[in-house]
Amino acid sequence: MLDCSGDGPEELEEHSVVAYKGNLYIFGGMVDSAFIQAKTPLWTYDVDSTRWTECRNVPAEKESLAPANRRGHSAVVYHSSMYIFGGYFGIKGISQEFWTFHFNTGKWLCVSSPSQNTGPGPRHGHSAVVYPTGMYLFRGLMELSERKDLWKWDFVSSSWSNIRTSQGPPPVVGHASIVCKDSMLISNSNPNDDLWKYHFHTQTWKKLSSVSLHLRNWC
């Protein structure tokens, strides 16, 4: 259990957490209310000082300059920025917004809001990883439809591409994915499900043993 000084975030659900230079950045997942909608849903936690810091409120006339509260989105770190994709707003629906937060300046920038024909489209419950200059976005839900796709955002060319592969895991939602060496590992929220491995260079899937095995055996 980590000690936390000062006021931290409220109870959260389906939020995201990334790490950068000794700080944890927690985004979204706040309980919907009129008070919450007026706040930027970003908190930082300094691991060394064990202190929470809340991002300042965004004035109403500048709300478009920062993403609103959401759940079930993805968050990754590339260089000195955090990238947020998708999520859902409850009755407001599902998002396909793509935002970046620059750690050094503390500023948000909307990367793109692509149509479903040029990008992954609105979704939540997906996962995302970075390797090495691309963000790989996997599965999730679009409305009530479970997606079966894999997308790549190229940080160099600033463009989306759909990666078409044969076989692979069944539709998954609320799963976890990590990078291990030159592969992406996918684990469903059900601990009894099998583990899948996606090899970036060959663009092939492999079904691995039960998740009870040690990580070194998966890689």
Q: Indicate the domain borders of the chain.
A: 16-164, 178-219
Helix (H, G, I), strand (E, B) or coil at 108: strand
What is the reported pLDDT for 219? 54
Side-chain-side CA neighbours of residue 116 (13 Å): 9
What is the reported pLDDT for 144? 76
Query: What letter would DSSP give residue 72?
Result: S
Give residue for tokens 């998708």: 86
Torsion from C-alpha of 140, 141, 145, 151, nearest 10 degrees = -50
Q: Which of 177, 156, 157, 159 is nearest to 168 (CA)?
A: 177
Q: Which of 53, 46, 11 is nearest to 31 (CA)?
A: 11
Check whether domain 16-164 has CATH 2.120.10.80, yes or no: yes
CA 93 to chain centre: 18
The CA distance from 112 to 100, in Å, is 10
Residues 168 and 204: beta-carbon distance below 8 Å:
no
Residues 62 and 79: beta-carbon distance below 8 Å:
no
The CA distance from 58 to 180, in Å, is 37
Sign of torsion over alpha carbons 60, 63, 65, 69: positive
pLDDT band at 191 (very low <50, low <70, confident <90, very high): low
Q: How many CB atoms lie within 10 A of CB 143?
A: 10
pLDDT in tens, 120-171: 999 999 999 999 999 999 999 987 788 889 999 999 999 999 999 878 888 7
CA 196 to chain centre: 19
pTM, two decimal places: 0.89
Helix (H) or strand (E) holding 128: strand 127-130
pLDDT in tens, 8-54: 887 899 999 999 999 999 999 987 665 566 677 999 999 999 999 98
Q: Which of 152, 160, 153, 125 is nearest to 139 (CA)?
A: 125
The token duo for 79 is 């260089």
Which amino acid does the sequence have at 113?
Answer: S
pLDDT band at 60 (very low <50, low <70, confident <90, very high): very low
